Structure 1
Amino acid sequence: MNIRRFYPADLLAGEVAVVTGGGSGLGYAIARDLVACGADVVITSRSAPRLEEAELRIVEETGRLCASFPCDIRKDDEIARLRDYTNSRFGKGSILVNNAAANFHMPAERMTRRAMETVVDIDLMGTFAVTRAFVPDMIEARRGAILSITVPSVNRGFPGFSHAGAAKAGIISLTGSWAREWGRYGIRVNALAPGPVPTEGVTVNMLGKDATDVPGAFAEHSEVAALGGLGTPEEIASAAVFLCSPAASWITGVNLTVDGGMELSTPLHRPVTG
């Protein structure tokens, strides 16, 4: 899917965007399409080599520059350096995409405090900390868009991933709170909940499958959605660009599910064993 089929190349001209977890998967796709729509983008994650590779790929695919900066979003000092780098490279951030996350399968009865704290620290507290670092500039400018990646149907639970489900539920609550508090400053705060999308990270960390067979790992999900088949990173990125753009100027506080109607077709989750 070519983002330029749907959006003009200058849709986000003049915007400065930061995408956490932007070196791979959905974060990469979102960052690439923000760049393609004219935004100046900084991608960040803990892996410098992965960021460098992603930066080069974005330049090749869009013909526009992208910047990268390694950052562990669990550490306030590194987040401060990320903000300072963004400000010096492009100017103050006006779009923030909270995509960085940690995830791994663990049945609830075996869930350790360390496992819970690890995921909550990255997913929930990381989202809080990065947003808290960038929002003062948005408040001063009286404009901005904040988008966080969540999960669909969080109220139905997330069997096998109760740590991630709890963290994402917290992010959805923050989304509503922030939307109400910061709306008076012209800041829109939304969340995006992708259905199953074949990516290497989800294949390995959530499905426990071999990264060399991503399509095969998702085979059982391919006919569940009302629209049939599986989603793509590009389809998720297209929705993300919309929510970050002026086209969504009257939208805030939502958790938009993008799953091809899978939520409509899927029964309540079966208990997780093993």
Structure 2
Amino acid sequence: MTAGGVDPARVVALVVGVEAYAAGPHWTLPGPVRDALRFRDWLRSTGVPDTNILLHLAPAEGTDAVAGHRGADHETLRRVLVHELPARQGDVLWVWWGGHGVLDRDEHLRLYCADATDADRRNIDLESARRRLSSDVLPGFAEQNWVVDACQTFEERHRPAVTIPDGSLPAGQRLRAHRQNVLLAADRGQRAANDPVRGLGVFSDILLHELAALPGGPAPDPEALFAAVRNRFDRLRAGASRTQLPTLQL
């Protein structure tokens, strides 16, 4: 048990980092794989077993080889969310996602999968995924922490040639047994900045530094975590070096 009373063996994490897309090099995004691996390393440092960390990556060309990960295509990620997570047992669930995203006209954040193309922008609907994992299809996991480092720019500003395909997932009966804490890198309509020189997401980097400093092992206080991250961004905004505004949904 950790100081926060959480058994690391009862913590499960879905960790996704998508840098390369089937759409081609113009979609390549530096940073999400490195950020995902750093988050995995933090989980390990708190005692979470490797078998409890579901690592799904799509590294960009030239990225160092990473062992022990699975793909980040739509079919694979949908199978994890629909079948694999409900088969797990635990008390705390982390969902970490880094990659491209867009806010659709229904105000749903769509997270693009590695097999997305300009003609078929395959995605996971974040709101639908949250509804699924807060329903009775997921026993246990009363505490859920979602971290999403992706843009929330408006869909229409990208002027896509085709509509975004459905990214929804089947949900069960609604419950009040789950608490979902959702930390988003940017507010609606905003971009989430990446540092191409250092190869990381600005939000992810700040959050990982704050995670390492907070007590509570693999289940820190989400409000304290968000306050620390927001304070760092406020200082960046005061210096006019960043404009994005992280958000927290409880």
Per the normalisation by structure 1, the TM-score is 0.46
Higher strand fraction: Structure 1 or Structure 2? 2
Per the normalisation by structure 2, the TM-score is 0.49
Please identify the structure whose Cα radius of gyration is greater: 1
The structure with higher relative contact order (CA 8 Å, sep 6+) is: 2
